[in-house]
Amino acid sequence: SCLMAFKRKVVFFIFALGLISLILSVLWDSSSLCHLYQNDMSGFKRGRDDFLKLPNIDCSRNAPFLVILVTSRLGQMEAWMAVRNTWGKERVIAGKRIVTYFLLGNNSRPYDQIGIITENILYKDIIQKDFMDTYYNLTLKTLMGLEWIHKFCPQSTFVMKTDCDMFVNTYYLTELLLKRNSTTKLFTGAINMHGNPIRDVNSKWYVSKEEYPGENYPPFSSGTGYVLSIDVARAVYVVSKKIPFLKLEDVFVGLCLAELKIQPEELDSGPTFFASSIPFSPCHYKKIITSHYHTPAQIILYWDAMERTIDEGCPSDQGSSPI
């Protein structure tokens, strides 16, 4: 009977343990649900590290190969949808996962906040912090993206920064990144090796001598599209704190790279990143990475035409075209 009593105690103990863990898991679930709800509905609740919005991803469990960060503003919902349905759609290419998120500042108009909250509930692909969302704050926006990578997704392999009026061929980009055989020390894009500050006060890119006294810019990539390996992205974020602020985000990233002594490199034998608009043809677009100044309708049209013919050969392929 002593044995019986012992057995009963064991059974009771196991039962109690099960009950406690059930209660705990329910509590845990509801508290995280509640947190999600507050995060979305208020729109004003600060998340970790002052981020107002964070995308729905746990990089420690399922790290992406490439994270594409798209600088954007409010009132570009149509462009966001075009990007989400084309190159920005989460997909796996050559076994590598690619995800795309939008970078936003704070446009203080309450009506716009409602728009962001709704978008964020539906898509969970927005990274937002509380800074004024203006053209000259683009540097802050880009740094916010790199901060997010540094703090929330250091497990990813590459990061791309681009805009939402861009065509981005993620297939060719992935192919070239894999061909490179190395996942470190990369900075690539539409490289400008010999840029100078524009001193004409009427220019959009005007920079005064106070803002930048130098005669030349270090090598930098056009902000329309550049790619960094994760080590470089994190190093740029860390070193950015000691580089004097410059409103031109692409030059600012160039200044960070110069400080880090990282040379931009080309991914291919010819140019592939274009800051201009490249006339569309499926064969041409298969061998470029970016093209600029596209409407949402163009992005959709070009993407569909390119993707439909992705496995077909092109005249320029030497010997690799199917018969």
Ligand X SMILES: *[C@@H]1O[C@H](CO)[C@@H](O)[C@H](O)[C@H]1NC(C)=O
Question: Which CB sits closer to ligand X, 30 or 108?
Answer: 108
The values of phi and psi at residue 223, to 5°, are -70, -5
Question: Which CB sits closer to ligand X, 61 or 204?
Answer: 204
Q: Determine the interface stretch with ligand X among 17-25, 28-36, 69-77, 127-135 (rule: CB under 6 A).
A: 127-135
Question: Which CB sits closer to ligand X, 52 or 66?
Answer: 52
Smallest gap, in angstroms, from Cβ of residue 236 to ligand X?
A: 20
Give the whole-angstrom CA distance, residue 257 versus residue 209.
Answer: 21
Q: Which of 47, 63, 93, 131 binds ligand X (CB under 6 A)?
A: 131
Give the whole-angstrom CA distance, residue 16 versus residue 12.
Answer: 6
The three-state secondary structure class of 54 is coil
Give the whole-angstrom CA distance, residue 217 versus residue 50.
Answer: 32
Of the candidates 121, 81, 97, which has an alpha carbon nearest to the alpha carbon of residue 174?
Answer: 97
Beta bridge partners of 97: 92
Q: Which of 59, 124, 137, 298 binds ligand X (CB under 6 A)?
A: 137
Question: Which CB sits closer to ligand X, 85 or 137?
Answer: 137
Question: Which CB sits closer to ligand X, 52 or 190?
Answer: 52
8 A C-beta contact, residue 128 and residue 48? no
Q: Determine the interface stretch with ligand X among 59-67, 85-93, 131-139, 150-158 (rule: CB under 6 A).
A: 131-139
Q: Determine the interface stretch with ligand X among 5-13, 23-31, 126-134, 283-291 (rule: CB under 6 A).
A: 126-134
Q: Determine the interface stretch with ligand X among 124-132, 150-158, 209-217, 259-267 (rule: CB under 6 A).
A: 124-132
Our measurement of the distance from residue 250's CA atom to the centroid of its chain's CA atoms, rounded to an integer in Å, reads 15
Q: Determine the interface stretch with ligand X among 125-133, 198-206, 272-280, 301-309 (rule: CB under 6 A).
A: 125-133
8 A C-beta contact, residue 281 and residue 164? no
Q: Which of residues 174-233 bind ligand X (CB under 6 A)?
A: 179-181
Q: Which of 29, 78, 130, 312 binds ligand X (CB under 6 A)?
A: 130
Structure tokens at 165: 């009026």
For 174, left (φ over 0), alpha (ψ -120 to 50), or beta?
alpha
Which residues, including other chains, have CB under 8 Å from residue 135's CB and lie 6 or more apart?
A: none
Q: Which of 25, 62, 118, 134 binds ligand X (CB under 6 A)?
A: 134
Residue numbers at the binding site for ligand X (CB under 6 A): 44, 52, 106, 108, 130-132, 134, 136-137, 140, 179-181
